[in-house]
């Protein structure tokens, strides 16, 4: 069964970038659908956020829910629990977006904002025990392993952070890291001072062990001397960084050598009608407000593109509505004074 | 008397861009000074804002004050009421920033975020009566003219908005516009339906009249037939658009044909150590969250630049601090996994 639906714009991803793009697109009156595995994306890994301009203290989940609510206020639609796996450009310039669950959508423009995903260990048992002892988000799942022995497979600051986070929950943590300890001086000092952490420098994971239902341990290998060792753990936290999973748009939009989508200053990719924003792009900085701003640029560029296709001059709704008689004012994008 | 002060970074401007840049710079531990005529810049012209991701409803002034407060939390300093009028690159790669009031500051990096300013009418009496009947912000100053006859000298959507705003305050409004009425269809209809507005299409201002203390009227001219006419008004609202006043950096940083500062995707200008963000740049979209995001990119680029100058690898504080033992975690800018 294939269902076909038509939208003005489809936003792929519901992190801060996808949500911010959808907010502007929906507010411009475009029929907008957001397709995403989940709400929040990497934002969920953020605990307290204290540098989002205008909000003194928030957290990733609250921020995501707040923007989702704004999107809904303006009529934006969501399809959660599904993943876009194919985009085809049609002859009339529109796009067909296909999902893993077999849905097909037609739209005039697309905003790619599906972020990055955690880098996997790439070892036996990892996939089998994903969610049953193997986690890619220490801050999300750490509390579930309170009182249990755990391992962090990680690198750099991200790995150190995870260890420090678990240190208060776990009686014993193995820190499995493939190089010497590195990252931030202060964090390294803090980790070294912990009584309940065994640091396994120059070690890599070999195999995840389990009883069929959940993780019971893992095999790690000393890279220097080749020695293998089994450690008994119930939780394995993978903190090896993030990668852009852009395979399904390879050949469609230009990617850089990190597989990130190359965009210009206003969120356009090399393909007319396809825009991108956030961590999936080649913008190096990973900050919520940057992703939000980038996404709004992409959204406004998408809106202008659709208006041009329809033979209209793009008028962009302003940042604000004034008090007074007008319901919404509409300062134009590039008002020709 | 010349005072010399040294900072790591000087931010020129305290609109949403300048404030957001300062927030990140100060939070990175850099000694940061914001120099600006006022707090908020064009943000103050925004009434209700309902599309800032994460904040359902706010307004320009509240948003500005909220970010200013965040900046102060991290130790950022402000110098209000003064205007930067000269930037010199020194032999050691540092900069000297001079102000109209004769202050001089030395810094390693600069973020230019001073926005745009309203386009003037360019007529006799305009400067003399600025603030004494001549206003460039209808939404800010309109309420001061409640019950008084006013004129809007404007164009397009911006002009129409101003008229609609005044319509509820002023018994009679002249709308002086140099072309035929244009802008948004809905706004034009609304303006035409107002009983208390006299629309003077194809008219331009010639002279502001006053009694020495305040505005008493203005002379306008019919562009088509050359006829001049005197209208009695106590308030003149100029809504002719905005321009980048970048003369003082001309020859230092590259500008486009609209005198906007040309930046790349991460907020760098053509001059090492000088960064820019917001409405003063060649990014075409005028939205608070875009300016905020652009400013944070510029700030992080400035931080990296300073770290490189000091022979360090730039480590960027993350969006968030996690719960746990660490006071602040520090995912790095481009963590080399």
Domain that holds residue B77: 6-116+244-327
Residue finishing a domain among B205, B239, B273:
B239
Identify the band that residue A327 occupies on the pLDDT scale cut at 50, 70 and 90: very low
Whether B187 is in a domain gets the answer yes
Check whether residue A229 and residue A140 sit in a common domain: yes
Check whether residue A220 and residue A274 sit in a common domain: no
Evaluate if residue B49 carries a pLDDT over 90: no
A106-116 pLDDT tens trace: 999 999 999 99
Evaluate if residue A278 carries a pLDDT over 70: yes
Minimum CA–CA partner of A138 in chain B: B322
Evaluate if residue B314 carries a pLDDT over 70: no
B177-187 pLDDT tens trace: 999 998 878 88
Check whether residue B105 and residue B249 sit in a common domain: yes
Rounded CA separation B312/A279 (Å): 25
Identify the band that residue B102 occupies on the pLDDT scale cut at 50, 70 and 90: very high
Whether residues A66 and B51 touch (CB distance < 8 A) is answered with: no
A14-38 pLDDT tens trace: 999 999 999 999 998 899 999 999 9
Check whether residue B112 and residue B10 sit in a common domain: yes
Evaluate if residue A166 carries a pLDDT over 80: yes
- Across A9-29, b (16+ Cβ under 10 Å) vs e yields bbbbbbbbbbbbbbbbbbbbe
For residue A82 the two structure tokens come to 């599904």
Output the pLDDT for position B140: 79
Whether residues A53 and B23 touch (CB distance < 8 A) is answered with: yes
B251-309 pLDDT tens trace: 999 999 999 999 999 999 999 999 999 999 999 888 899 999 999 999 999 998 998 88
Could you tell me if A117 and A17 are in contact, meaning their C-beta atoms sit under 8 angstroms apart?
no
Output the pLDDT for position A209: 98
Whether B148 is in a domain gets the answer yes
Output the pLDDT for position A319: 52
Evaluate if residue A236 carries a pLDDT over 90: yes
Whether A275 is in a domain gets the answer yes
Residue finishing a domain among A239, A273, A302:
A239
Evaluate if residue A3 carries a pLDDT over 70: no
Check whether residue B303 and residue B219 sit in a common domain: no
A143-153 pLDDT tens trace: 889 999 999 99
A252-277 pLDDT tens trace: 999 999 999 999 999 999 999 999 99
**How many domains does the structure of chain B reveal?**
2
Identify the band that residue B44 occupies on the pLDDT scale cut at 50, 70 and 90: confident
Check whether residue A211 and residue A275 sit in a common domain: no
Q: Which of A7-16, A126-135, B300-309 has the lowest mean pLDDT?
A: B300-309
Output the pLDDT for position B336: 27
Check whether residue B29 and residue B86 sit in a common domain: yes
Q: Which of B32, B194, B292, B293 to mutate to test the interface with A (most CBs of A within 10 A)?
A: B293
Q: Which of B27, B166, B320 to mutate to test the interface with A (most CBs of A within 10 A)?
A: B320
Output the pLDDT for position B214: 96
* Average pLDDT of chain B to the nearest whole number: 89
Residues in chain A closer than 8 A to B63 (CB atoms): 54
Strand partners of residue A117: A243
Output the pLDDT for position A314: 52
What is the SS3 assignment for chain B?
A: CCCEEEEEEEEECCCHHHHHHHHHHHHCCCCEEEEECCCCHHHHHCCEECCECCECCEEHHHHHHHHHHHHHHCCCEEEECCCEEEEEECCCCCEEEEECCCCEEEEEEEEECCCCEECCCCCECCCCCECCCEECCHHHHHHHHCCCCEEEEECHHHHHHHHHHHCCCCCCEEEECCCCCCCCHHHHHHHHCCCCEEEECCEEEEEEEECCCCEEEEEEEECCCCCEEEECCCEEEEECCEECCCHHHECCECECCCCCECCCCCCECCCCCEEECHHHECCCCCCHHHHHHHHHHHHHHHHHHHHHHCCCCCCCCCCEECCCCCCCCCCCCCCCC
Helical spans, DSSP H, in chain A: 16-27, 60-73, 138-141, 156-166, 185-193, 288-309
Point out the residue among A53, A63, A155 whose CB comes nearest to the CB of B19.
Answer: A53
Could you tell me if B172 and B198 are in contact, meaning their C-beta atoms sit under 8 angstroms apart?
yes
Whether B226 is in a domain gets the answer yes
Nearest-Å Rg of the Cα atoms of chain B is 22
Output the pLDDT for position B322: 34
Output the pLDDT for position B321: 37
Check whether residue B203 and residue B293 sit in a common domain: no
* Average pLDDT of chain A to the nearest whole number: 89
Whether B87 is in a domain gets the answer yes
B136-155 pLDDT tens trace: 988 778 888 999 999 999 99
Check whether residue A233 and residue A249 sit in a common domain: no
Q: Would an 8 Å CB–CB cutoff place A307 in contact with chain B?
A: no
Whether B62 is in a domain gets the answer yes
Residue finishing a domain among A210, A239, A268:
A239
Of B33, B41, B36, nearest in space to B279 by CA: B41
Rounded CA separation B231/A247 (Å): 67
Whether B69 is in a domain gets the answer yes
Output the pLDDT for position A36: 97
Evaluate if residue B325 carries a pLDDT over 50: no
Over range B32-37, report the average pLDDT: 97
Whether residues B320 and A48 touch (CB distance < 8 A) is answered with: yes
Point out the residue among A50, A156, A325 whose CB comes nearest to the CB of B190.
Answer: A325
Compute CA distances A20 → A72, A174, A280, whole Å.
Answer: 12, 39, 15
Rounded CA separation B227/B89 (Å): 52
Whether residues A330 and B60 touch (CB distance < 8 A) is answered with: no
A174-196 pLDDT tens trace: 999 999 998 878 889 999 999 99
Check whether residue B73 and residue B107 sit in a common domain: yes
Check whether residue B227 and residue B282 sit in a common domain: no
Q: Which of A21, A53, A264 to mutate to test the interface with B (most CBs of B within 10 A)?
A: A53
Check whether residue A156 and residue A230 sit in a common domain: yes
Whether B86 is in a domain gets the answer yes
CB contact residues (below 8 A), chain A span 228-287, against chain B: 240-241, 263-266, 282-287
Helix (H, G, I), strand (E, B) or coil at A6: strand
Over range A53-66, report the average pLDDT: 93
Domain of A60: which CATH number? 3.50.50.60
Whether residues A46 and B297 touch (CB distance < 8 A) is answered with: no
Is the four-CA dihedral B34, B35, B38, B41 of positive or negative sign?
negative
A296-317 pLDDT tens trace: 999 999 998 998 888 765 555 5
Over range A59-85, report the average pLDDT: 95
Q: How far is A26 from chain B (nearest CA, A)?
A: 11
């Amino acid at each position: 069964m294939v269902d076909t639906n038509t939208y003005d714009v489809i936003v792929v991803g519901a992190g801060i970038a996808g949500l911010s793009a959808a907010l502007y697109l929906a507010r411009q009156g475009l029929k907008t659908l957001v397709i995403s595995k989940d709400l929040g994306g990497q934002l969920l890994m953020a605990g307290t956020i204290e540098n989002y301009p205008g909000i003194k203290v928030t957290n990733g989940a609250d921020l995501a829910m707040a923007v989702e609510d704004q999107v809904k206020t303006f009529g934006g639609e969501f399809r959660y629990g599904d993943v876009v796996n194919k985009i085809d450009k049609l002859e009339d310039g529109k796009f067909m977006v296909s999902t893993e669950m077999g849905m097909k959508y037609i739209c005039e423009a697309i905003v790619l904002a599906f972020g990055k995903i955690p880098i996997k260990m790439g070892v036996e048992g990892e996939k089998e025990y994903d969610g049953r002892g193997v986690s890619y988000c220490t801050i999300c799942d750490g509390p579930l392993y309170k009182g249990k022995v755990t391992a962090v497979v990680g690198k750099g600051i991200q790995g150190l952070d995870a260890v420090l986070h678990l240190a208060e929950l776990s009686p014993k943590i193995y820190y499995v890291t493939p190089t010497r300890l590195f990252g931030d001086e202060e964090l390294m000092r803090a980790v070294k001072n912990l009584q309940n952490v065994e640091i396994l420098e120059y070690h890599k994971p070999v195999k995840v062990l389990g009883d069929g239902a959940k993780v019971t341990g893992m095999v790690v290998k000393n890279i220097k001397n080749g020695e293998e060792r089994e450690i008994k753990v119930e939780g394995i936290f993978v903190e090896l960084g993030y990668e852009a999973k852009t395979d399904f748009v390879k050949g469609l939009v230009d990617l850089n050598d990190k597989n990130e989508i190359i965009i210009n200053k206003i969120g356009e990719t090399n393909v007319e009608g396809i825009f991108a924003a956030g961590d999936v792009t080649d913008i190096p900085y990973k900050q919520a407000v940057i992703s939000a701003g980038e996404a709004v640029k992409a959204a406004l560029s998408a809106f202008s593109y659709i208006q041009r296709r329809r033979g209209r001059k793009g008028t962009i709704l302003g940042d604000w509505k004034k008090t007074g008689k007008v319901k919404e004012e509409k300062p134009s994008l590039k008002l020709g004074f």
